[in-house]
Structure 1
Amino acid sequence: MPAPRRFTREQLQATALSIVDERGLAGLTMRSLAAELGTGAMTIYNYVDGRTGLEALVTEAVMAMSTWEEPEGGDWREALAAVAEGVLLTVWEHPNAVPLMLARGALHESALAPAEAMLDALHRGGYRGPRLLVAFRVVSGFISGFAQVEVVAPQPGPAPAADQGPALDGERFPRLVEIADAAGASDPLSRFRDGLRIILKGLEP
Protein backbone atom coordinates (compact mmCIF):
# COMPACT_ATOMS: atom_id res chain seq x y z
CA MET A 1 0.00 0.00 0.00
CA PRO A 2 1.46 3.42 -0.96
CA ALA A 3 2.30 5.85 1.81
CA PRO A 4 -0.35 8.53 2.44
CA ARG A 5 0.35 11.83 0.70
CA ARG A 6 1.23 14.66 3.06
CA PHE A 7 0.03 17.52 0.88
CA THR A 8 -3.07 18.07 -1.16
CA ARG A 9 -2.96 19.59 -4.62
CA GLU A 10 -4.78 22.62 -3.23
CA GLN A 11 -2.07 23.13 -0.57
CA LEU A 12 0.62 23.00 -3.22
CA GLN A 13 -1.28 25.45 -5.44
CA ALA A 14 -1.87 27.99 -2.67
CA THR A 15 1.71 27.85 -1.45
CA ALA A 16 3.19 28.18 -4.93
CA LEU A 17 0.99 31.19 -5.69
CA SER A 18 1.93 32.82 -2.39
CA ILE A 19 5.61 32.51 -3.27
CA VAL A 20 5.07 34.03 -6.72
CA ASP A 21 3.02 36.89 -5.26
CA GLU A 22 5.82 37.74 -2.82
CA ARG A 23 8.97 36.95 -4.81
CA GLY A 24 7.99 36.76 -8.46
CA LEU A 25 8.24 33.77 -10.78
CA ALA A 26 11.99 33.46 -10.26
CA GLY A 27 11.38 32.91 -6.56
CA LEU A 28 9.38 29.73 -7.16
CA THR A 29 11.66 26.70 -7.05
CA MET A 30 11.46 23.19 -5.70
CA ARG A 31 13.51 24.33 -2.73
CA SER A 32 11.41 27.41 -1.97
CA LEU A 33 8.17 25.47 -2.23
CA ALA A 34 9.54 22.71 -0.04
CA ALA A 35 10.77 25.21 2.56
CA GLU A 36 7.35 26.87 2.78
CA LEU A 37 5.74 23.48 3.24
CA GLY A 38 8.28 22.39 5.83
CA THR A 39 9.71 19.49 3.90
CA GLY A 40 12.65 18.58 1.66
CA ALA A 41 12.94 19.44 -2.03
CA MET A 42 13.01 15.77 -3.02
CA THR A 43 9.58 15.30 -1.45
CA ILE A 44 8.12 17.86 -3.84
CA TYR A 45 9.22 15.73 -6.81
CA ASN A 46 6.64 13.20 -5.64
CA TYR A 47 3.97 15.77 -6.44
CA VAL A 48 5.37 18.06 -9.14
CA ASP A 49 7.08 17.32 -12.43
CA GLY A 50 9.88 19.89 -12.58
CA ARG A 51 9.54 23.53 -13.60
CA THR A 52 6.51 22.90 -15.79
CA GLY A 53 4.73 21.35 -12.84
CA LEU A 54 5.60 24.25 -10.56
CA GLU A 55 4.20 26.77 -13.03
CA ALA A 56 1.08 24.68 -13.50
CA LEU A 57 0.43 24.94 -9.76
CA VAL A 58 0.37 28.74 -10.03
CA THR A 59 -2.01 28.83 -12.98
CA GLU A 60 -4.27 26.29 -11.32
CA ALA A 61 -4.33 28.33 -8.11
CA VAL A 62 -5.41 31.48 -9.94
CA MET A 63 -8.11 29.70 -11.92
CA ALA A 64 -9.40 27.85 -8.86
CA MET A 65 -9.81 31.16 -7.00
CA SER A 66 -11.91 32.72 -9.77
CA THR A 67 -15.48 33.53 -8.77
CA TRP A 68 -18.44 35.07 -10.55
CA GLU A 69 -22.18 35.54 -10.16
CA GLU A 70 -24.52 33.79 -12.56
CA PRO A 71 -26.65 36.50 -14.18
CA GLU A 72 -30.42 36.24 -14.06
CA GLY A 73 -32.35 35.43 -17.19
CA GLY A 74 -30.12 32.71 -18.60
CA ASP A 75 -28.64 34.72 -21.48
CA TRP A 76 -25.55 32.84 -22.64
CA ARG A 77 -23.60 35.98 -23.55
CA GLU A 78 -24.16 37.51 -20.12
CA ALA A 79 -23.17 34.23 -18.48
CA LEU A 80 -19.99 34.05 -20.55
CA ALA A 81 -19.12 37.68 -19.78
CA ALA A 82 -19.60 37.10 -16.05
CA VAL A 83 -17.16 34.19 -16.01
CA ALA A 84 -14.63 36.01 -18.19
CA GLU A 85 -14.65 39.06 -15.95
CA GLY A 86 -14.38 36.91 -12.82
CA VAL A 87 -11.28 35.21 -14.22
CA LEU A 88 -9.72 38.51 -15.28
CA LEU A 89 -10.25 40.15 -11.89
CA THR A 90 -8.63 37.18 -10.16
CA VAL A 91 -5.67 37.28 -12.54
CA TRP A 92 -5.23 40.99 -11.88
CA GLU A 93 -4.90 40.28 -8.17
CA HIS A 94 -1.79 38.22 -8.94
CA PRO A 95 0.17 40.23 -11.54
CA ASN A 96 3.35 38.19 -11.09
CA ALA A 97 1.46 35.15 -12.40
CA VAL A 98 0.15 36.86 -15.54
CA PRO A 99 2.95 35.63 -17.87
CA LEU A 100 2.00 32.04 -17.06
CA MET A 101 -1.62 32.51 -18.09
CA LEU A 102 -0.52 32.49 -21.74
CA ALA A 103 1.87 29.58 -21.39
CA ARG A 104 0.01 26.97 -19.38
CA GLY A 105 -2.64 24.82 -20.96
CA ALA A 106 -3.82 21.71 -19.17
CA LEU A 107 -5.06 22.25 -15.65
CA HIS A 108 -5.77 20.07 -12.66
CA GLU A 109 -9.40 19.16 -12.06
CA SER A 110 -9.55 21.55 -9.09
CA ALA A 111 -9.11 24.53 -11.44
CA LEU A 112 -11.37 23.61 -14.36
CA ALA A 113 -14.61 25.23 -13.18
CA PRO A 114 -14.14 28.55 -15.08
CA ALA A 115 -13.35 26.76 -18.34
CA GLU A 116 -16.35 24.47 -17.96
CA ALA A 117 -18.61 27.43 -17.17
CA MET A 118 -17.46 29.32 -20.28
CA LEU A 119 -17.91 26.22 -22.42
CA ASP A 120 -21.37 25.67 -20.98
CA ALA A 121 -22.37 29.24 -21.85
CA LEU A 122 -21.08 28.82 -25.42
CA HIS A 123 -22.85 25.47 -25.68
CA ARG A 124 -26.10 27.15 -24.69
CA GLY A 125 -25.37 29.67 -27.43
CA GLY A 126 -25.39 26.90 -30.01
CA TYR A 127 -21.70 26.04 -30.34
CA ARG A 128 -20.78 22.40 -30.78
CA GLY A 129 -17.65 20.39 -31.51
CA PRO A 130 -14.92 22.21 -33.45
CA ARG A 131 -16.82 25.51 -33.38
CA LEU A 132 -17.17 25.23 -29.59
CA LEU A 133 -13.39 24.77 -29.37
CA VAL A 134 -12.68 27.78 -31.59
CA ALA A 135 -15.14 30.04 -29.77
CA PHE A 136 -13.69 29.02 -26.41
CA ARG A 137 -10.16 29.76 -27.55
CA VAL A 138 -11.19 33.15 -28.90
CA VAL A 139 -12.67 34.18 -25.55
CA SER A 140 -9.98 32.63 -23.34
CA GLY A 141 -7.28 34.09 -25.59
CA PHE A 142 -8.81 37.54 -25.21
CA ILE A 143 -8.80 37.21 -21.41
CA SER A 144 -5.18 36.08 -21.30
CA GLY A 145 -3.98 38.64 -23.83
CA PHE A 146 -5.83 41.50 -22.17
CA ALA A 147 -4.38 40.57 -18.78
CA GLN A 148 -0.92 40.56 -20.34
CA VAL A 149 -1.36 43.97 -21.95
CA GLU A 150 -2.82 45.56 -18.84
CA VAL A 151 -0.42 43.99 -16.33
CA VAL A 152 0.99 47.45 -15.57
CA ALA A 153 -2.40 48.28 -14.06
CA PRO A 154 -3.40 45.03 -12.31
CA GLN A 155 -6.23 46.60 -10.34
CA PRO A 156 -9.16 48.25 -12.11
CA GLY A 157 -8.80 52.00 -11.99
CA PRO A 158 -7.63 55.01 -13.98
CA ALA A 159 -4.94 54.21 -16.50
CA PRO A 160 -1.54 55.61 -15.48
CA ALA A 161 -0.18 58.51 -17.45
CA ALA A 162 2.64 56.27 -18.67
CA ASP A 163 0.07 54.36 -20.72
CA GLN A 164 -0.10 57.31 -23.08
CA GLY A 165 3.57 56.98 -23.98
CA PRO A 166 5.74 59.71 -25.52
CA ALA A 167 4.24 62.59 -27.46
CA LEU A 168 3.39 61.60 -31.03
CA ASP A 169 3.14 63.58 -34.23
CA GLY A 170 -0.63 63.98 -34.56
CA GLU A 171 -0.47 64.46 -38.32
CA ARG A 172 1.63 61.38 -38.97
CA PHE A 173 0.01 59.09 -36.36
CA PRO A 174 -3.52 60.42 -35.84
CA ARG A 175 -5.07 57.09 -34.89
CA LEU A 176 -2.31 56.29 -32.39
CA VAL A 177 -2.87 59.67 -30.78
CA GLU A 178 -6.59 58.95 -30.73
CA ILE A 179 -6.23 55.68 -28.83
CA ALA A 180 -3.59 57.15 -26.49
CA ASP A 181 -6.13 59.81 -25.53
CA ALA A 182 -8.79 57.14 -25.13
CA ALA A 183 -6.49 55.11 -22.85
CA GLY A 184 -5.94 58.10 -20.64
CA ALA A 185 -9.67 58.73 -20.36
CA SER A 186 -10.71 55.14 -19.59
CA ASP A 187 -9.86 52.35 -17.17
CA PRO A 188 -8.75 48.75 -17.82
CA LEU A 189 -11.95 47.08 -16.66
CA SER A 190 -14.12 49.28 -18.88
CA ARG A 191 -11.84 48.50 -21.83
CA PHE A 192 -12.12 44.80 -21.11
CA ARG A 193 -15.91 44.93 -20.97
CA ASP A 194 -16.08 46.91 -24.22
CA GLY A 195 -13.69 44.52 -25.95
CA LEU A 196 -15.62 41.50 -24.78
CA ARG A 197 -18.84 43.03 -26.11
CA ILE A 198 -17.23 43.32 -29.53
CA ILE A 199 -16.21 39.66 -29.41
CA LEU A 200 -19.60 38.47 -28.18
CA LYS A 201 -21.36 40.47 -30.87
CA GLY A 202 -19.35 38.58 -33.46
CA LEU A 203 -19.99 35.18 -31.89
CA GLU A 204 -23.03 34.18 -33.89
CA PRO A 205 -23.54 30.40 -33.98
Structure 2
Amino acid sequence: MRARFTLADIQQHALVIVDRDGLAGLTMRSLAASLKTGAMTLYNYVDSREALEELVVDAVSSRVQIPEPTDDWRADTRAVATAMWRTFRAHPAVIPLILTRRTSSRASLAPAEALAAALARGGLDGVDLFVAFRAVSAFVTGIAQNELAGALSREKDPASAANRVEALARGALPTLAELAPVGAVFSGQEFERGLTLILNGITHTPRPFSPHDQAEHGG
Protein backbone atom coordinates (compact mmCIF):
# COMPACT_ATOMS: atom_id res chain seq x y z
CA MET A 1 0.00 0.00 0.00
CA ARG A 2 1.40 3.38 -0.97
CA ALA A 3 2.23 5.73 1.90
CA ARG A 4 -0.32 8.51 2.26
CA PHE A 5 2.01 11.46 2.50
CA THR A 6 3.96 13.73 0.20
CA LEU A 7 7.42 15.28 0.20
CA ALA A 8 5.78 18.44 1.55
CA ASP A 9 4.40 16.41 4.47
CA ILE A 10 7.88 15.08 5.21
CA GLN A 11 9.26 18.60 5.09
CA GLN A 12 6.63 19.95 7.48
CA HIS A 13 6.99 17.11 9.98
CA ALA A 14 10.77 17.42 9.90
CA LEU A 15 10.56 21.14 10.70
CA VAL A 16 8.18 20.48 13.59
CA ILE A 17 10.63 17.96 15.04
CA VAL A 18 13.60 20.33 14.71
CA ASP A 19 11.64 23.20 16.26
CA ARG A 20 10.62 21.00 19.17
CA ASP A 21 13.62 18.74 19.74
CA GLY A 22 16.52 20.44 17.96
CA LEU A 23 18.64 19.07 15.14
CA ALA A 24 19.72 16.08 17.19
CA GLY A 25 16.08 15.06 17.51
CA LEU A 26 15.61 14.77 13.75
CA THR A 27 16.32 11.21 12.64
CA MET A 28 14.75 8.95 10.08
CA ARG A 29 13.25 7.01 12.95
CA SER A 30 11.72 10.04 14.68
CA LEU A 31 10.43 11.36 11.37
CA ALA A 32 8.94 8.00 10.46
CA ALA A 33 7.20 7.84 13.83
CA SER A 34 5.74 11.30 13.28
CA LEU A 35 4.44 10.25 9.87
CA LYS A 36 3.29 6.87 11.18
CA THR A 37 5.33 4.92 8.66
CA GLY A 38 8.54 2.91 8.52
CA ALA A 39 11.95 4.54 8.39
CA MET A 40 12.90 2.70 5.21
CA THR A 41 9.85 4.13 3.45
CA LEU A 42 11.31 7.61 3.83
CA TYR A 43 14.27 6.72 1.65
CA ASN A 44 11.87 6.66 -1.30
CA TYR A 45 11.59 10.42 -0.78
CA VAL A 46 14.92 11.54 0.71
CA ASP A 47 18.09 9.54 0.17
CA SER A 48 20.29 11.02 2.89
CA ARG A 49 20.47 13.09 6.03
CA GLU A 50 21.83 15.98 3.97
CA ALA A 51 18.80 15.90 1.67
CA LEU A 52 16.51 15.90 4.70
CA GLU A 53 18.29 18.90 6.19
CA GLU A 54 18.00 20.76 2.88
CA LEU A 55 14.26 20.19 3.01
CA VAL A 56 14.18 21.79 6.45
CA VAL A 57 16.12 24.82 5.19
CA ASP A 58 13.70 25.15 2.27
CA ALA A 59 10.76 24.91 4.68
CA VAL A 60 12.03 27.88 6.67
CA SER A 61 13.09 29.94 3.65
CA SER A 62 9.69 29.49 2.04
CA ARG A 63 8.09 31.06 5.12
CA VAL A 64 9.83 34.38 4.58
CA GLN A 65 7.09 36.86 3.71
CA ILE A 66 8.67 38.75 0.82
CA PRO A 67 7.16 42.23 0.48
CA GLU A 68 6.11 43.77 -2.80
CA PRO A 69 8.82 46.03 -4.27
CA THR A 70 8.41 49.80 -4.18
CA ASP A 71 10.41 52.75 -5.49
CA ASP A 72 12.21 53.10 -2.13
CA TRP A 73 15.21 50.76 -2.21
CA ARG A 74 16.16 51.41 1.43
CA ALA A 75 12.68 50.60 2.68
CA ASP A 76 12.58 47.51 0.48
CA THR A 77 15.99 46.30 1.65
CA ARG A 78 14.98 46.82 5.27
CA ALA A 79 11.67 45.04 4.73
CA VAL A 80 13.25 41.99 3.09
CA ALA A 81 16.08 41.77 5.63
CA THR A 82 13.63 42.12 8.51
CA ALA A 83 11.36 39.43 7.07
CA MET A 84 14.34 37.07 6.78
CA TRP A 85 15.52 37.83 10.32
CA ARG A 86 12.08 37.33 11.87
CA THR A 87 11.62 34.03 10.07
CA PHE A 88 15.06 32.71 11.01
CA ARG A 89 14.72 33.65 14.68
CA ALA A 90 11.30 31.93 14.78
CA HIS A 91 13.15 28.68 14.03
CA PRO A 92 16.42 29.03 15.99
CA ALA A 93 17.39 25.38 15.80
CA VAL A 94 17.46 25.62 12.00
CA ILE A 95 19.93 28.51 11.92
CA PRO A 96 23.03 26.24 11.81
CA LEU A 97 21.58 24.57 8.72
CA ILE A 98 20.82 27.92 7.07
CA LEU A 99 24.48 28.81 7.55
CA THR A 100 25.88 25.52 6.27
CA ARG A 101 23.39 24.04 3.81
CA ARG A 102 23.41 25.73 0.41
CA THR A 103 20.33 24.62 -1.47
CA SER A 104 19.41 25.62 -5.01
CA SER A 105 15.64 25.45 -4.74
CA ARG A 106 13.53 28.42 -5.73
CA ALA A 107 12.01 28.58 -2.24
CA SER A 108 15.42 28.84 -0.63
CA LEU A 109 16.76 31.44 -3.05
CA ALA A 110 13.67 33.67 -3.31
CA PRO A 111 14.52 35.81 -0.24
CA ALA A 112 18.09 36.28 -1.50
CA GLU A 113 16.77 37.33 -4.92
CA ALA A 114 14.41 39.85 -3.31
CA LEU A 115 17.25 41.28 -1.22
CA ALA A 116 19.62 41.58 -4.18
CA ALA A 117 16.89 43.16 -6.32
CA ALA A 118 16.12 45.75 -3.63
CA LEU A 119 19.79 46.74 -3.42
CA ALA A 120 20.02 46.88 -7.22
CA ARG A 121 17.13 49.35 -7.28
CA GLY A 122 19.37 51.61 -5.21
CA GLY A 123 21.74 51.88 -8.16
CA LEU A 124 24.21 49.21 -7.12
CA ASP A 125 25.68 46.78 -9.60
CA GLY A 126 28.70 44.56 -10.10
CA VAL A 127 31.16 44.46 -7.21
CA ASP A 128 29.23 47.03 -5.15
CA LEU A 129 26.00 45.04 -5.42
CA PHE A 130 27.83 41.83 -4.51
CA VAL A 131 29.52 43.38 -1.46
CA ALA A 132 26.34 45.08 -0.24
CA PHE A 133 24.33 41.89 -0.69
CA ARG A 134 26.90 39.86 1.24
CA ALA A 135 27.08 42.49 3.99
CA VAL A 136 23.33 42.59 4.60
CA SER A 137 22.97 38.80 4.31
CA ALA A 138 25.82 38.20 6.75
CA PHE A 139 24.34 40.69 9.19
CA VAL A 140 20.93 39.01 9.12
CA THR A 141 22.28 35.50 9.69
CA GLY A 142 24.94 36.73 12.12
CA ILE A 143 22.43 38.47 14.38
CA ALA A 144 20.19 35.41 14.27
CA GLN A 145 23.17 33.21 15.16
CA ASN A 146 24.11 35.46 18.07
CA GLU A 147 20.56 35.22 19.38
CA LEU A 148 20.76 31.45 19.08
CA ALA A 149 24.00 31.42 21.06
CA GLY A 150 22.33 33.50 23.74
CA ALA A 151 19.34 31.16 23.85
CA LEU A 152 21.61 28.16 24.32
CA SER A 153 23.81 29.85 26.90
CA ARG A 154 23.63 28.66 30.49
CA GLU A 155 23.44 32.30 31.54
CA LYS A 156 19.84 33.22 30.78
CA ASP A 157 19.88 36.63 32.48
CA PRO A 158 21.47 39.25 30.18
CA ALA A 159 22.26 41.50 33.16
CA SER A 160 24.15 38.70 34.92
CA ALA A 161 26.13 37.96 31.78
CA ALA A 162 26.93 41.66 31.37
CA ASN A 163 28.10 41.92 34.98
CA ARG A 164 30.34 38.90 34.53
CA VAL A 165 31.91 40.28 31.34
CA GLU A 166 32.31 43.69 32.92
CA ALA A 167 34.08 42.21 35.93
CA LEU A 168 36.45 40.23 33.72
CA ALA A 169 37.18 43.17 31.46
CA ARG A 170 37.50 45.92 34.06
CA GLY A 171 40.96 47.43 34.04
CA ALA A 172 42.63 45.32 31.38
CA LEU A 173 39.87 45.70 28.76
CA PRO A 174 38.17 49.01 29.48
CA THR A 175 36.30 49.35 26.18
CA LEU A 176 34.70 45.91 26.52
CA ALA A 177 33.83 46.72 30.11
CA GLU A 178 31.99 49.80 28.88
CA LEU A 179 30.10 47.81 26.23
CA ALA A 180 28.94 44.98 28.53
CA PRO A 181 26.08 46.81 30.31
CA VAL A 182 24.95 48.39 27.02
CA GLY A 183 24.47 44.97 25.46
CA ALA A 184 22.30 43.86 28.37
CA VAL A 185 19.68 46.56 27.79
CA PHE A 186 20.03 47.24 24.05
CA SER A 187 19.79 43.74 22.56
CA GLY A 188 16.20 44.17 21.39
CA GLN A 189 17.13 47.11 19.17
CA GLU A 190 20.38 45.67 17.89
CA PHE A 191 18.99 44.44 14.59
CA GLU A 192 17.23 47.67 13.62
CA ARG A 193 20.14 49.87 14.64
CA GLY A 194 22.74 47.68 12.97
CA LEU A 195 20.79 47.50 9.73
CA THR A 196 20.44 51.28 9.72
CA LEU A 197 24.21 51.66 10.06
CA ILE A 198 24.76 49.30 7.12
CA LEU A 199 22.20 51.06 4.92
CA ASN A 200 23.71 54.44 5.79
CA GLY A 201 27.10 53.09 4.82
CA ILE A 202 25.79 51.84 1.49
CA THR A 203 24.12 55.19 0.83
CA HIS A 204 27.17 57.33 1.55
CA THR A 205 30.01 55.12 0.30
CA PRO A 206 31.54 56.21 -3.04
CA ARG A 207 31.03 53.67 -5.80
CA PRO A 208 34.18 53.65 -7.92
CA PHE A 209 33.69 50.20 -9.42
CA SER A 210 32.00 50.43 -12.78
CA PRO A 211 32.14 47.44 -15.18
CA HIS A 212 35.07 49.23 -16.90
CA ASP A 213 36.90 49.60 -13.58
CA GLN A 214 36.38 45.92 -12.79
CA ALA A 215 37.90 44.93 -16.14
CA GLU A 216 40.94 47.12 -15.50
CA HIS A 217 41.42 45.56 -12.06
CA GLY A 218 41.04 42.02 -13.34
CA GLY A 219 37.45 41.67 -12.02
Tell me the TM-score normalized by structure 1. 0.82
Cα offset for 1:35? 2.2
CA change 1:162–1:66 in 2 (3 A) is farther
Indicate the residue corresponding to 1:144 in structure 2. 141
Segments of structure 1 that go 5 or more residues without pairing to the other structure are: none
Question: Which letter does structure 2 place at the counterpart of 1:55?
Answer: E
Structure 2 matches for 1:26-37, cutoff 5 A? Answer: 26-37=24-35
Indicate the residue corresponding to 1:89 in structure 2. 86
SS of the residue 1:65 aligns to: coil
Segments of structure 2 that go 5 or more residues without pairing to the other structure are: 208-219
Matched residues in 2 for 1:171 and 1:194: separation?
29
Cα offset for 1:62? 1.4
Identity of aligned residues (%): 47
Match of residue 47, structure 1, among 19, 28, 45: 45
Structure 2 matches for 1:57-136, cutoff 5 A? Answer: 57-67=55-65, 69-70=67-68, 74-136=71-133
Indicate the residue corresponding to 2:177 in structure 1. 177
Rg larger in 1 or in 2?
Answer: 2
SS of the residue 1:185 aligns to: helix
Tell me the TM-score normalized by structure 2. 0.78
Which region of structure 1 is more displaced relative to structure 2, 145-154 or 193-202? 145-154
Which region of structure 1 is more displaced relative to structure 2, 100-109 or 123-132? 123-132
Cα offset for 1:15? 1.2
Aligned residues: 196
Is the 8 Å Cα contact of residues 118 and 136 (structure 1) preserved in structure 2? yes
Matched residues in 2 for 1:119 and 1:96: separation?
26
Matched residues in 2 for 1:192 and 1:162: separation?
22
Moved over 6 A (4+): none
CA change 1:130–1:42 in 2 (3 A) is farther
Matched residues in 2 for 1:106 and 1:128: separation?
24
Indicate the residue corresponding to 2:192 in structure 1. 193
Cα offset for 1:175? 1.0
Cα offset for 1:17? 0.9
Cα offset for 1:80? 1.0
Indicate the residue corresponding to 2:20 in structure 1. 22
Is the 8 Å Cα contact of residues 56 and 107 (structure 1) preserved in structure 2? no
Q: Superposition RMSD on alpha carbons, in Å?
A: 2.6
Cα offset for 1:92? 1.4
Which region of structure 1 is more displaced relative to structure 2, 41-50 or 62-71? 62-71
Matched residues in 2 for 1:178 and 1:20: separation?
38
Matched residues in 1 for 2:67 and 2:125: separation?
24
